[in-house]
Structure 1
């Protein structure tokens, strides 16, 4: 039976990550950082990835990691979602790491995994953020005839790019690629167009068939654990809306005491509770290599993406005029929620996946 409860180890990990982010990455300070030196904090990444060891949660101990599972990585992403933290955890420590693990424990991938697990280096799978594990385009050639791979998340922060080519997956140093930043909706997750010349030096990690399966495994893990990030985001939005409506007064009463607003927040609480169940189920299915993992991931994404957007919209609206200002971080949560809604497949794609896996054909017109 699936265990959706948090273990003591997971609760301890949550406490450590939350304390670090509260001290170093408070949401209230993020709008100011976006206007200053940029959102990425290298020292914070070293503390999370190396000191806490979060970067190596999916990596076996024999390869230098923590030997944990997707359940623990999901807890980290919940906390990163709560603070919309601009770190390459999902792209490097989940998608790229899981892709390399799927290639096998030996060879060039093993050495790169040790570096990723320690936090010394970061890697990004060079596919669009909207790519899915069952994308209609061949993942072995994502760039197409133009040569540039658009909307690669966190490419500007990567040390190594995992580049799919027709003959297999190649590890290419970021310095040997042309990485051009793009203007994203979500300023906390940078996007870039990546061009890697056919003559660029790199290391071939696996053949084409093995690479395709590994890429799909990495993207499936990314989609499944993205639901945990969306859960953390929705939880913060709900808590912040409740906190604000308790302290904001109109007609000499807290606005949160008005029945219409109480009903809206109660409805949102139920949605967040459902999202928690869906996200935890997806993380557990991935952790146990369940044959139902693709279905659990599709259900989690179809549901959690909608809940995250709804929670962020309610947070902005229930803050009134304050929620519309740049200085309040609510707009960053809404932008992250809308961006996440497209990451690793839009809700419509995941609903189609659920229908196919559950043998529920769409009605014919």
Structure 2
């Protein structure tokens, strides 16, 4: 696949890069790294005003109805700028899952709030958040249980390392009827208000210093209106959103890797002017050339996967390659 972009995509890239270079400064990044929020509310408000939160949602909900390739372009700029935000958990894992599986009333009620930046969602997936950590979620990882309580449901369970749980207004909770059932069947998606009795979040201290929490659900009572889609059918829409998240994380890592490559090349040229031994020069030139090849290959695979998803095609094989490439390339850079 030849990686080429439309005029509109190049305009999106240019405007996003210009905005993030001006607004997502080193000082802001440092503030976010030390903040328990894990993002800048002021920057979140600004990108809301730019329409970025509604990029891929239909116009009827206030979105721009653009493609997943367009979103990948934006995510690449997120990575280049080291822009941290709850975009993935809120817009992709939350919003796109609701767009696919939610009822008309749920979509009409929730999606405009997401697009206007009025709601943050955390997906209660746990330590193996796919896309976020580069691993794959399996049906047996869904360990939150749901039991019928009259017309309502009781949710019980514990999940560690849930991203953005400490700042979430709502939680997307995949739960199953019986604990220990490893089938894809029996998984239901619940949309739970963060203030619901029995739901508790505790900030965790992580090596990366990012915003992850322990989430405890103890007899959390929710009604049938809190179910996204139909009971026992939550696995398919959830995994579809996770595949999208994986590709967007690949694009984000691509942007970060290319930024590191450019900085390394600039540093090398600076030292070259001051004089370095020929053998060191040759080694560095070869390393940078190989790294550039890795980045170009990562870009091709990432956008191929994004294009397949946009066209509704399967990309499982490409997705696994994307995950491996983006981790390897970013680490090398």
TM-score by length of 1: 0.76
User: Is it true that 1:172 corresponds to 2:192 in the alignment?
Assistant: yes
Matched with 2:7 is 8
Contact 1:140 1:169 in 2 (8 A): no
Matched with 1:329 is none
Quote the offset at 1:138 in angstroms: 3.5
Change in 2 beyond 3 A, CA 1:143/1:300: farther
Give the length in aligned residue pairs.
306
Matched ranges for 1:307-326 at <5 A: 307-311=329-333
The match for 1:269 among 284, 289, 292 is 292
User: Is it true that 1:222 corresponds to 2:242 in the alignment?
Assistant: no
CA distance in 2, matches of 1:36, 1:134: 29
Matched with 1:87 is 85
CA distance in 1, matches of 2:241, 2:165: 16
1:139-160 per-residue CA deviation (whole Å, 9 max, x = no partner) reads 6535799821111112223221
SS in 2 for 1:247: helix
1:156-197 per-residue CA deviation (whole Å, 9 max, x = no partner) reads 23221111222521111223331111122333x411111223
Deviates more, 1:128-137 or 1:165-174: 128-137
User: Is it true that 1:136 corresponds to 2:138 in the alignment?
Assistant: yes
User: Is it true that 1:123 corresponds to 2:121 in the alignment?
Assistant: yes
1:191-213 per-residue CA deviation (whole Å, 9 max, x = no partner) reads 11112233345622233332111
Change in 2 beyond 3 A, CA 1:39/1:108: closer
1:47-78 per-residue CA deviation (whole Å, 9 max, x = no partner) reads 11x21111112211112211112111111111
- Gap regions ≥5 residues in structure 2: 147-154, 178-187
User: Is it true that 1:282 corresponds to 2:305 in the alignment?
Assistant: yes
- Gap regions ≥5 residues in structure 1: 312-365
Matched ranges for 1:345-356 at <5 A: none
Matched with 2:219 is 198
Quote the offset at 1:306 in angstroms: 1.4
Contact 1:139 1:212 in 2 (8 A): no
Deviates more, 1:140-149 or 1:100-109: 140-149
Quote the offset at 1:36 in angstroms: 6.4
CA distance in 1, matches of 2:282, 2:205: 41
Quote the offset at 1:83 in angstroms: 1.8
SS in 2 for 1:209: coil
Change in 2 beyond 3 A, CA 1:249/1:228: same
The match for 2:235 among 206, 212, 227 is 212
Change in 2 beyond 3 A, CA 1:147/1:186: same
User: Is it true that 1:19 corresponds to 2:18 in the alignment?
Assistant: yes
Which structure features the higher share of strand residues?
2
Change in 2 beyond 3 A, CA 1:163/1:185: same
Deviates more, 1:132-141 or 1:222-231: 132-141
